[in-house]
Chain A
Amino acid sequence: MGAHTNLIHRGERTPPSGSISLTTPIYETSTFVFNSARDVERYQEGSLPAFLYSRYENPTVGAIEEKLAVLDSAEMALAFSSGMAATSTALMTLLRSSARRRFTAARFTSSSTFSPVSGCRGGSCRWTSCAIPRA
């Protein structure tokens, strides 16, 4: 192997054999390696517990979501890049076009919470409806 290949691949993807890290490592990786096409297929079918891509799931993020769910006596937790990412993602999911789509907010709720909805004066506003999955 040449220098370029060695420097890119040596020392990667080698979990410490026989040892368990006391704390969750920082899985600073954007993607995860599969052994075979069949494994990718099994992952997509839900029969192989694995990671595909860090925008979907990441082990370090998953570890804190487990803590956060327990902390709030909840079944599940989702971590976001900011509180406003959490708020806007929730509202864009829950307020999909339907007969019921009124958002009632306590007037004194954190002012930035209003921004995604209060920018639309006149009682109605349009959020981009593209690509929001149906439940």
Chain B
Amino acid sequence: VSRRFVSLDELRNPASVIGPKTKIVWFESPINPTLRCVDIRAVAAACKKAGVLSGIDNTFACPINQQPIAMGVDLAMQSATKYLNGHSDVTGGVLTGSRAVLEPIGKTRRLLGGVMDPLPAYALGRGLKTLPLRVARHNSNALAVAQFLDGHSAVERVYYPGLPSHPDHEIAKRQMCGFGGMVCVDLKGGQAAAYRAFDRLAVVQRAASLGGVESLCSLPILTSQYGLTDDELAKAGVTRGMMRISVGLEDPEDLVADLKQALEQD
């Protein structure tokens, strides 16, 4: 199996990334951690036209905010660890799609054994019952956080698909019915400023993962982009001053106050 990685710019013309040997195009939107968005319908349509499978990682949006199967994607994957369960106490994953695509994968699951155990399945089922309620609150809390950060004197740039200043706001508006609970902020002063604000957080917890009731913050250069060179970071659109916030379900004024004190100058 050979693989080719393409840039967002290349993916803007999805037919151009599909070659004669292409079997599947795999992408995510919004993208971790910059929340850049891919035009899902365009990728799905180009794949269909070429007879190629399309697969999306829909973890960041979750199906309440974004319905990739309805937009023509063949296979949607999510980490159920995140919004689907929502309580930071289950590790799990899910695939959705047509029977034709999923039944062979179900046979492989039997053989490879990556099945979910009944106990986490029960917890996930309980979490799912409140998913629409939780996601509505994640959306509104994240917007409140993004709006607070946008224009703050310590902030270089805020990345949230729901803000008109986001480079893919128009794409997001077309394909998302809510903009999600993830906010990324690039601080003036780079890595030192990010480390400082990160260490001062009190309500928001310093932890990887996302999508739970608790607000969490991680530094991409220490997690998803750990060990990348400056050149690789630039290609990924990630800076050393970035903090990724998974906005939880706390009172929005408490989250804003926590970020405010974390960004305050001595």
Contact = CB atoms under 8 A, between A and B. Distances in A.
A104 B4 CA distance: 5
A40 interface: no
A107 B7 contact: yes
B23 A76 contact: no
B236 A55 contact: no
A75 B109 contact: no
Interface in B237-252: 237
B21 interface: yes
Contacts of A127: 1
B53 A94 contact: yes
A103 B32 CA distance: 20
A44 interface: no
A81 B91 CA distance: 7
Interface residues of B, number: 86
22 contacts: A29-B118, A67-B128, A71-B63, A72-B58, A78-B94, A79-B92, A80-B94, A84-B93, A86-B95, A90-B55, A90-B95, A95-B23, A95-B24, A100-B20, A100-B21, A100-B52, A103-B24, A105-B6, A106-B5, A106-B31, A109-B28, A109-B57
B131 interface: yes
A95 B53 CA distance: 10
Interface stretch (A1-9, A11-19, A31-39, A110-118): A110-118
B105 A72 contact: no
Contact of A83 (B77, B96, B105, B108): B77
Given A104-B22, A133-B108, A64 B3 contact: no
A108 B114 contact: no
A48 interface: no
Contact of A104 (B18, B93, B235): B18
Given A83-B59, A108-B31, A77 B96 contact: yes
B28 A110 contact: yes
Interface in B14-42: 17-28, 31-32, 34, 36, 38
Given A60-B122, A101-B21, A74 B92 contact: no
Given A68-B94, A75-B98, A108-B8, A24 B122 contact: yes
Given A79-B124, A80-B114, A100 B22 contact: yes
A80 B36 contact: no
B26 A64 contact: no
A80 B98 contact: no
B185 interface: no
A31 B81 CA distance: 26
A86 B94 contact: yes
B108 A92 contact: yes
A56 B68 CA distance: 27
A85 to B, nearest CB: 3
A30 B146 CA distance: 46
Interface string B193-233: 00000000000000000000000000000001100000000
B23 A74 contact: no
Contacts of B125: 23-24, 60, 63-64, 67
Closest 3 CB pairs of A and B: A83-B79, A85-B114, A86-B93
Nearest to A86: B93
A88 B57 CA distance: 12
Nearest to A56: B110
B97 A110 contact: no
A77 B28 CA distance: 19
